[in-house]
Structure 1
């Protein structure tokens, strides 16, 4: 399935103010740079910086065209999608688990990435006319958000790729552990039939090697990362909008010096256990000029399925990006 939503006036206003964010129901403990995040938890990979070449103020996402040989290529007419027969339309636009929706398609020639060394994932987004899309609307200061998530949710990276003039995006990734990984591209076309809608499309890649599946940590309301304690408050119900509050403390004291990150004070993304379904959790705490943020951050959570979700929260202090991960149980 693929994921797309129509931007409401509130969402559009939030995007214009740069306050729209992605929330993942797992907080992965890790530090990183502004454009990437990994985790200090065992079995978690650290994110990499977005490509240092051709960076623009509108962050691009990696897009690749796919060839029959499986090699990377920017040429049209390549193999589409990692999910045969990916459907289009509202029946298949949930969770970001398909490579196509409403005529938009994520194409890539990359089916494998190396283990234990940095990798590069290139891709394209093609539109209903089959041509590469090059006009994207900024969402939280970036035109493209790109995520790599391991099948057991123990590996997570969030990077902001760069786009070439031909619509090819390239995402630089830190070393990945062996196993199956899903690559998500989150974007909003700035023209055409999909203008004003948010899309999340994905494909899978394999990292060769001896893969060991790790059990998902048990559901909890708090986690530790880099000396900070992150507490999640709220009891979301599947398929229903629900408020969620994240509080950050350090040595028992409220943290009030959070720095803006992607035009808000925290970025939250969630992935569902088993199928790696993706969910956006949008921030509702506005940046307050030059004042620091915290300790409490509010989010608008809509998690479509019951079960365990892994939540990844990213926030910045003293110029350093921290990534916290926690498992949240969502009731049906």
Structure 2
């Protein structure tokens, strides 16, 4: 944490936005008028990079506010840090109409993720949709600065592909810059220890294994959450490119055990630092464990406590 740096939230948001724009340009090249839809890591494995090809999609998910004829319309572009706000948004089609019909995936029509530009505060929200297509969710951001809102959904239209659109949210208040947490092989949250075993190689499918224990004992009775024993989201430091992956196997398939291990397969689009957020449910409560990972390197044998600003909201 860099201390003693106090600037207005407006200046922080502007600085973060210009920095992110530079990162996007460097990572994905020029922006095209009509970008082609990208495959979604969790739902369209047929379009994922080949394990041995070393290639990844040119434009990762979450970097665009519009794609494939759909736009994320964030109706609440600003909130006040530390105060509960009603976050409102809609998905608009190519004609500008608010979309009211979605495919249900993992028990929900739409998954909403909120993360700060420094990748420390993190929220997995569950918005509700009004009949006119307006989505809303209560949210309290813990610190001032610039945030990114991700809407992960699949329209109900024929042949529609899964999309993740992103938009910027500014939180006003005294701003204090935060450093990206160091890579670590384990983290603790609410008395649970979560370990990470991952060696991410850019452009290739990599295995990620997470293990959950409590009081030194493996947790073997994880509960299904949104149809799985764990949900993993990865965000790239800098431009916040978004990956949403789900575990190998599912509850009730006859082979997948309810812990302690949860395994995933994912493809990171480039070299760099990533934040991984694991949601898991035990004894009726959903918890979030966060890790920093550098591509091409295994996590270092350190232990880091989950920051109190990260977490899961309903």
TM range (shorter): 0.7 to 0.9
Aligned to 1:173: 139
Aligned to 2:273: 308
**What is the root-mean-square deviation in Å for CA atoms of aligned residues?**
2.6
State the secondary structure of the residue aligned to 1:180: strand
**Stretches of 4+ aligned residues off by more than 6 angstroms:** 289-292
**With CA pairs under 8 Å and 6+ residues apart, which has the higher RCO, 1 or 2?**
1
1:253 aligns with 2:217: yes
**Aligned 8 A contact 1:256 1:293 in 2:** yes
**Aligned 8 A contact 2:66 2:165 in 1:** yes
Aligned to 1:101: 67
Aligned to 2:78: 112
Q: 1:264 is matched with which residue: 215, 228, 231?
A: 228
**Aligned 8 A contact 2:118 2:180 in 1:** yes
Aligned to 2:90: 124
Change (3 A) 1:253 1:3: farther
Q: 1:241 is matched with which residue: 193, 197, 205?
A: 205
Aligned pair count reads 253
State which drifts further: 281-290 or 153-162. Answer: 281-290
Aligned to 1:207: 171
Gaps of at least 5 residues in structure 2 are: 1-23, 25-34, 46-55, 298-314
Aligned to 2:310: none
Q: 1:324 is matched with which residue: 277, 282, 289?
A: 289
**Aligned 8 A contact 2:121 2:141 in 1:** no
**Aligned 8 A contact 2:151 2:165 in 1:** yes
Aligned to 1:70: none
Gaps of at least 5 residues in structure 1 are: 14-89
Change (3 A) 1:93 1:170: farther
TM-score when normalising by structure 2? 0.74
Q: Give the drift of 1:278.
A: 1.0
TM alignment of 1:1-332, pairs within 5 A: 4-6=37-39, 11=43, 93-192=59-158, 195=160, 197-288=161-252, 293-331=258-296
Structure with a larger share of its residues in helix: 2
**Aligned 8 A contact 1:3 1:201 in 2:** no
